[in-house]
Homo-oligomer: A and B are copies of this chain.
Amino acid sequence: MFTPNPYSLNSRKVAEATDEWLAKRGVSKTQIGQLVHFLQKDYFPDLSLDECIVHVDAVLSKREVQNAVLTGIQLDVLAEEGKLITPLQEMIKNDEGLYGCDEVLALSIVNVYGSIGFTNFGYIDKLKPGILKKLNEKNGEHTHTFLDDIVGAIAASAASRIAHRKQAEREADTNLPLD
């Protein structure tokens, strides 16, 4: 007698798929780290790229973030292959201005590190530095309607994480009295 295995989530698989798919879609952690460095270098002049990458890794270890990455990339890939229903296909393929589910998923990433990340997200989403510019090149080959916003959101979240950590370090150093 055959009993099918009941479904059981395997978190390691979700984490690994997130890493694999980001790489497959042309995004490295170094490139996301560069966005973080761009956002934070004026506030923390000693901040190194390596340190930024550590924070990117921490953001990517969150399940909420992994879910958004996989879901967004999935929709991009299917739009690229022309496999979505009409008119969703056309809206995602053309990064239609009134289609905002990409921003919605991106914001669910930013929220995990709190509201102080909103500003940074909007700022790089508009400026498109580094890898964001490349993702946004609409050359007909690839569709990155979701990934574009998601990568910006990961960078903004890592920037928020740095702001929180730096504050903790500063307070540990100065050993503030409670008075």
Q: Contacts A120-B126, A122-B123, A123-B122 given: A107-B100 contact, CB under 8 Å?
A: no
For the complex of A and B, the 8 pairs showing the least CB-CB separation, nearest first, are A122-B122, A100-B115, A111-B111, A103-B115, A64-B114, A123-B126, A7-B94, A100-B116
B17, B88, B176: the one within 8 Å of A74 (CB): B88
Give the distance in Å from the alpha carbon of A16 to the alpha carbon of B177 in the complex. Answer: 13
Q: Please, how many residues of chain A have a CB less than 8 angstroms from a CB on the other chain?
A: 67
User: What copy number does this chain have within its complex?
Assistant: 4
List the B residue with the shortest CB-CB distance to A127.
B123
The listed residue (B11, B68, B121, B178) touching A168 by CB distance below 8 A is B11
- The one of B86, B96, B104, B119 in contact with A105, judged by C-beta atoms closer than 8 angstroms, is B104
Chain B residues, CB < 8 A from A96: 7, 9
State whether the Cβ of A14 lies closer than 8 Å to any Cβ in chain B.
yes
In the docked arrangement, what's the CA distance between A12 and B86, Å?
12
- Residue A70 at the B interface, CB < 8 A? yes
